[in-house]
Amino acid sequence: MERDRFIGQLRDIVGDRNVIFHPEDLLVYEYDASIDRGLPQAVVLPADTDEVSRVMALAYREGVPVAGRGSGTGLSGGAIAAPGGIQVSFTRMNRILEVAIQDRTAIVEPGVINLDLDTHVRRLGLRYAPDPSSQRACSLGGNIAENAGGPHCLAYGTTTNHVLGMEVVLEDGAVVNLGSLARETPGYDLRGVFTGSEGTFGMATRIMVRLLPIPEAVKTYLGVFNDIESACTAVSSVIGHGIVPAALEIMDATTIRAIQQSMDAGYPEDAGAVLLVELEGLLEEVDEVGQEVESALWDTGATAVKEALETSERERLWSGRKSAFGAFGHIAPNLYLVDGVVPRSRLTEVLARVGQIGEQYGITIANVFHAGDGNLHPCMLFDERQPGELDRVIEASGEILKVCVEAGGTLTGEHGVGLEKKEYMPLVYSQADMDAMIQVRQAFAPANMLNPGKIFPDGVPHRPAARRPDPTMSV
């Protein structure tokens, strides 16, 4: 392939201004919110499905691997281009095409920002439930690729539970439709298998999502505890009462201090941990359940229980939670995030082991996580300028993932496998398991031209260059 000719053909498809290929301009596309890097040879910004299809067909003919890119908020290297590859960026495809109020559905393009969709439909009495912490920045196409979660996935499920159908461009440029406008679809659930495929199956160019009514009442509680163990016990107590809150989020002392240094979120700076509990539903139901939640928190050792009485107070509590990862910059210049999942009943045990691993490797680890579904986010805070520091962080992350799997958990809850966890897949899956997954991928992308080198182990060690915490990180 002659590079200048290839770039010229891309420009013929999408226009001169919509192909980025000068090295200095490509630097901002070499990373996502992970610590991985890979410089694409070009970034293409198509305007519609036809342009995506033509770009993909051209790359397929030329043997050029392709990675899709939304807002670049992913945390496993999913948007990183393969060597010699290009990125297809969906920045221009950012329209909300249709909202059907009676059907409670919306049709959007993949570059639509998660929060923009939610804000738009709330004016119509509806909402889009999945809410990654990068909600203000992440896009719907990337959410589909990683099957993004968020604080409220405890009650409402992850992205896959809210996507009804999509138009998809395959690696050779073919356009297919997965799912249906109807609630039920006969045949294989290809929509479901595509969601969470981390960009290795195809690229969604038009997406139909499910919308929910805005709840009549919302109550948010802040439980304050002396230590993280007590907060975890409170989580089990709340669930043990038969209550499934909309969200159950824990932040430890290190996280609290970092947040309070960057903003006043209303968290007591001397707390060992705080637990955010949010209830949604009918007014009478929320009031009744709220009393049970308060009792459960007091009974498990809370030193204080505060209810957010004003909307502004509730928003402040959540703003602190969703700003946590940017706030870690007050503690250390670099951050490496682990995304493991464990059974709720093993939270305390696993967190103790995480603390021990931090001490063993001499790394400060902060914990902020979706406690309701056992999705941990140990955050390793470090300075890559110190010799050997990054290597210690990578090794410690592997130890944490092993602890999660040994506890009956798995490698990722919402950030994907990508580059960062691919070598740990054998901890969870046999070779036969992975071979079966690869056969599914081959049904969609037999030439493996989409996001190659992701998900499955290939013996290439994970030794990326670290960078500074990013406040748009999705957790």
pLDDT digits (tens, 9 = 90+) for 209-258: 999 999 999 999 999 999 999 999 999 999 999 999 999 999 999 999 99
Residue 475 has pLDDT above 80, yes or no: no
CA distance 474 to 239: 25
Taking residues 386-393, report their average pLDDT: 93
Taking residues 321-342, report their average pLDDT: 94
Question: Candidates 3.90.226.10, 3.30.465.10, 3.40.50.2300, 3.40.50.300; correct CATH number of 96-213?
Answer: 3.30.465.10
pLDDT band for position 462 (cuts 50, 70, 90): low
Parts of the chain belonging to CATH 3.30.70.2740: 332-410
Q: What tokens were used for 364?
A: 């400060």
pLDDT band for position 467 (cuts 50, 70, 90): very low
Taking residues 312-335, report their average pLDDT: 95
Which position has the higher pLDDT, 202 or 182?
A: 202
Quick: pLDDT tens for 110-126.
999 999 999 999 999 99
Which position has the higher pLDDT, 467 or 135?
A: 135
Residue 408 has pLDDT above 60, yes or no: yes
Give residue for tokens 């160019």. Answer: 205
Burial status of residue 249 (CB atoms within 10 A of its CB: 0-12, 13-18, 19 or more): buried
Taking residues 325-344, report their average pLDDT: 94
CATH 3.30.1340.10, applies to 217-327: no
| Distance set, CA 330 to CA 36, 256, 365, 471 (Å) | 22, 12, 14, 12
Quick: pLDDT tens for 413-455.
999 999 999 999 999 999 999 999 999 999 999 999 999 999 9
Parts of the chain belonging to CATH 3.30.70.2190: 217-327
CATH code of 3-89, in short, is 3.30.43.10
CA distance 429 to 268: 42
Parts of the chain belonging to CATH 3.30.465.10: 96-213
Parts of the chain belonging to CATH 3.30.43.10: 3-89
Residue 334 has pLDDT above 60, yes or no: yes
Quick: pLDDT tens for 156-173.
999 999 999 999 999 999
**Residue 300 near residue 277, CB atoms below 8 Å:** no
pTM of the model: 0.93
Residue 465 has pLDDT above 70, yes or no: no
pLDDT band for position 184 (cuts 50, 70, 90): confident
Question: Candidates 3.10.20.600, 3.30.70.2740, 3.30.360.10, 3.40.50.2300; correct CATH number of 332-410?
Answer: 3.30.70.2740
CA distance 144 to 178: 13
Residue 1 has pLDDT above 70, yes or no: no
